[in-house]
Structure 1
Amino acid sequence: MMSLFAKDGRPKIVPELSYLATGLGCVTRVYTDHGVFLIDGGQDQPQVVLREAYGLSVEEIRQRLEVPVVDGTRT
């Protein structure tokens, strides 16, 4: 499990990498202290689905992340 936000408050789930990566598309699920995220790495439009939220509401998470988040908590 990882923290969703860095110590300075910036989100760790970002729309674009700022460093080299060797395993693009390998991660489909991210467990954080504020929720469980499903990552659909589609070629045209990657999608981040919030499956479960902890400590923050879905709307608070949407506002703080830099990527569009789909609410998957009600399925």
Structure 2
Amino acid sequence: MINAGKAPISELPGASYFPHADSFAMIRGGHLDVCVLGAFQVSAAGDVANWHTGNPDAIPAVGGAMDLAIGAKQVWVMMTLFANDGSPKLVPTCTYPLTGVGSVTRVYTDLATFDIAPDGVYVRDLHGVSFDQLAQQLAVPLHTSGR
């Protein structure tokens, strides 16, 4: 058995699994309440890019994420707020190829948790940084969570 990252895995007590076709039937049938994805970028409009950076040396990792991004009722992303080069990963518009359009509802990062809403990006929680510091580091207009 291998995981989505193609790494070998083993079962733990209580584990369960099912055929690949059944997993896509659940996803495409709208049976997932929440999906958690990693991402290279998330836009202020809730677009997600998580399968390719566009770098010619990068190996694209196309998989079921596109189905998950449109099939789940809510899509949450977990990522660091800044890439290794220091550039923000929460951006006004994604520059990488998109996985899903307008599908992300929440983003969990190392510095803050954000809610993505039709009327903007709301800071839900802060982790070791102030709202003003965060706002200065991002090109995305931020709102406080008191909606």
Q: Output the TM-score relative to the length of structure 2.
A: 0.44
* CA distance, structure 2, for counterparts of residue 56 and residue 10 of structure 1: 17
* CA distance, structure 1, for counterparts of residue 101 and residue 130 of structure 2: 29
Deviation string 1:9-62 (CA, Å, 9 cap, x unpaired) is: 11100001112213111110000001110001x3xxx51100000011011000
* CA distance, structure 2, for counterparts of residue 66 and residue 24 of structure 1: 19
* CA distance, structure 2, for counterparts of residue 21 and residue 7 of structure 1: 20
Q: Which amino acid aligns with 1:52?
A: D
What is the SS of the residue equivalent to 2:132?
Answer: helix
Q: Are positions 1:66 and 2:139 aligned together?
A: yes
What is the SS of the residue equivalent to 1:61?
Answer: helix
Query: Whose relative contact order is higher, 1 or 2, with alpha carbons under 8 Å and at least 6 apart?
Result: 1
Q: How many residues align?
A: 70
* CA distance, structure 2, for counterparts of residue 65 and residue 56 of structure 1: 13
Aligned-residue identity in percent:
46
Q: CA RMSD in A?
A: 1.5
Q: State the partner residue of 2:107.
A: 30
Q: Which structure has greater helix proportion?
A: 2
Q: Are positions 1:54 and 2:131 aligned together?
A: no
What is the SS of the residue equivalent to 1:28?
Answer: strand
Gaps of 5+ in 1: none
Query: For residues 60 and 18 of structure 1, do their structure 2 counterparts lie closer, same or farther at Cα, with a shift above 3 Å needed?
Result: same
Query: For residues 23 and 69 of structure 1, do their structure 2 counterparts lie closer, same or farther at Cα, with a shift above 3 Å needed?
Result: same
Q: State the partner residue of 2:92.
A: 15
Computing the radius of gyration from Cα coordinates, the structure with the larger value is: 2
Shift >4 Å, 4+ stretches: none
